[in-house]
Chain A
Amino acid sequence: MAEQGALVTYRFNGASFENANFVSVPTRPTGHFSAEQLNQAFYLADPMQTCCVENEITDEYQRIAEHARALLVERFALYDAIEQALIAAFDEDWVEPKHVIAVLEKLASS
């Protein structure tokens, strides 16, 4: 993996190469996201639309983030850990892939 431990993609739009079109995420061969990093991503994504960002409630998803972190330690995949933590806190019918992906997107951009 290029960039010494990154998964890299190139967004090809038919034109000549532009460095800005390379998009990557670092790989984590050891360790994983901390509860703090997960909490920050949940907070910024606010997947369940609690308006935590507007109200600056930075710990709105703290327990969910800690649950997700515990699932990661149990070797759940990141997507599944986020999904299961959200389902445990809300309801299975309420949690959709787009909610999980919103958190992943924040983690990927952090």
Chain B
Amino acid sequence: MYDIVGDIHGYADELELLLAKLGYQKKNSIWQHSERTLISVGDLIDRGPQQKRAVDIIRAMTANGFAKTIMGNHEFNAVAYYVRDKNGEPLRAHTVKNRQQHLAFLNEAEAIPTWYHEAISWFKQLPVLLDLPELRVVHACWHPTSVEVLKDYCTDNFTLKPSYFKQANDSAHPLYHALEVLMKGWELSLPEGVSFNDKDGHKRDKIRTRWWLEQDGNYQDLAIGVPDVSILPNERVPSSQMPGYDNAKPLFIGHYWLHESAEAVSAHIACVD
């Protein structure tokens, strides 16, 4: 069976503590369990103090069949930051903001160029989602329409074909929007004329949502990351505007940094971040 681990974000010590707590052993320098497989929901990198070690642990486990790993938005961004188009321009602009968000990883990766290259090559091979017989895993939101779009640009195991990374970073392309939903979650436009300022003071007219809520909610119920939800309309959001979930299998997501006790967010969906 499976142990589904949330966003590691470069916290390798905590990962090894967790593996020890879960009864994993280290043999031939690879963490492993005789009966269980680790599943990472992605976001191995950025933020924490041990970027390379965190990647190396999970990468070795995955390469040897002791883990399965999907791509989080941070791995996707790392690929886009590294890969250049035919004009030599990075797929993700090297702005101060983008570099700052990626700095913990870059500080370690740029010091070891061969490792950096290998890590990016591995990130490129990560599937965007897992649809196993027992369960599903995606970084942020399971959205069948986006999954269908993705199928046109990926292999049978939902790995993005390398030739489509440019389209994946083109906001005019359907693949970009599919990946936005799958890896960053479901956003909802606020009614005409309604906006709020986020924690950084930027004006927003869309909200990130608790898309997994099983009952219809209003904007206040659904919003994530809005400093004061009372400024949002108290009107019901039509279910047609939300992705819903078919409840066919348990689904595991990460990404949301929910400041709550770890628990299932619905009867069939658990967030491990």
A residues touching B (Cβ–Cβ < 8 Å)?
1-4, 6-14, 16-17, 19, 22-29, 32, 77-79, 97-98, 100-101, 104-105, 107-109
Contacts and interface: CB of A to CB of B under 8 A. Distances in A.
Contacts of B267: 16-17
Given A12-B250, A97-B26, A22 B15 contact: no
A9 B4 contact: yes
Interface in B1-39: 1-9, 11-18, 20-22, 24-27, 36, 38
Contacts of A78: 13, 16-17
Given A3-B262, A17-B264, A97-B27, A9 B22 contact: yes
A12 B272 contact: no
A2 B260 contact: yes
A16 B78 CA distance: 35
Given A2-B257, A9-B272, A24-B262, A104 B250 contact: no
A92 B271 CA distance: 41
Most B-side CB within 10 Å, residue of A2, A7, A9, A109: A9
B3 A11 contact: yes
Contacts of A24: 18, 262
Interface of B: 1-9, 11-18, 20-22, 24-27, 36, 38, 48-50, 53, 134-135, 250, 252, 256-264, 267, 270-273
B257 A77 contact: no
B161 to A, nearest CB: 30
B50 A77 contact: yes
Contacts of B22: 9, 11, 23
B24 to A, nearest CB: 8
Contact of B2 (A12, A101, A104): A12
Contacts of A3: 259-262
Contacts of A14: 1, 134
B262 A27 contact: no
Contacts of B49: 29
Contacts of A98: 25
A10 B2 CA distance: 8
A25 B26 contact: no
Contacts of A107: 17, 20
B218 to A, nearest CB: 24
Contacts of A8: 5-6, 262, 272-273
A12 B1 contact: yes
A77 B260 contact: no
Contact of A7 (B15, B38, B258, B260): B15
Contact of A23 (B1, B18, B256, B273): B18
A10 B270 contact: yes
A10 B38 CA distance: 10
Q: A12, A14, A19 — which one has the most chain B CB atoms within 10 A of its CB?
A: A12
Contact of A9 (B1, B3, B11): B3
Residue in A16, A26, A29, A108 with the greatest tally of chain B CB atoms within 10 Å:
A108
A6 B12 CA distance: 12
Contacts of B21: 23, 25, 104-105, 108-109
A27 B258 contact: no
B1 A13 contact: yes
A10 B4 contact: yes
A2 B6 contact: yes
A108 B50 contact: no
